[in-house]
Amino acid sequence: MSTNFFRTVQSSFRHSVYRPSHITSIRQFHTTLPKMTVHNFETAEAFKQAIQENKVVLLDCFATWCGPCKAIAPILAKHSNDEQFKDIYFGKIDVDDLPELSQELGITAMPTFLLFKDGKAEPAERLVGANPNALVSILKKHIE
């Protein structure tokens, strides 16, 4: 057998000994679960119910194939766990899964962020594009 084969086996063995597979790359020091999250709406009814039940709702309209949507998703998740935005309900819809709702909301580009306030069906704010600074300014504008 070749020496490359033995090196590969040695390397695999070394990694399994020093980095057991049952230990994940999750931060081990984090002791509490996040309080908030970004809710993925599967139906238009779930989205409309969230608007009625929450004072402020931020909706992320995204597509799975959209690069900027993938880039801003972790930033949105971070803001959903931020204590200063605890009163904002974060949600998202896949525009390809809910095309009727996307058309009803007037989504023409992804990502589009819509902020709904006080149960109204018309958005109070609209942000088109993956602009983290503008997103934060919209969130700060509508916190209590």
Instruction: Summarize pLDDT for 101-116 with one digit per residue, the tens.
Output: 999 999 999 999 999 9
List pLDDT tens digits, range 5-58: 555 545 554 555 455 555 555 555 444 444 558 999 999 999 999 999 999 999
Note the pLDDT of residue 54.
Answer: 96
| Arithmetic mean of pLDDT, 61-67 | 96
On the question of pLDDT at 76 being above 60, the answer is: yes
Percent of the chain having pLDDT more than 70?
A: 74
- DSSP assignment of 33-65 equals --S--EEE--SHHHHHHHHHH-SEEEEEEE-TT
* CA-based radius of gyration for the chain: 21
pLDDT at position 124 over 60: yes
Cα dihedral 115→118→124→127 (10° resolution): 0
What local confidence, expressed as pLDDT, does residue 2 receive? 56
Give the residue numbers marked as catalytic.
66, 69
pLDDT at 143: 85
Q: What is the mean pLDDT of residues 53-78?
A: 96
Contacts of 41 by beta carbon, 8 Å cutoff, 6+ apart: 47, 50, 91, 92, 93, 98
Query: Does domain 30-141 match CATH 3.40.50.300?
Result: no
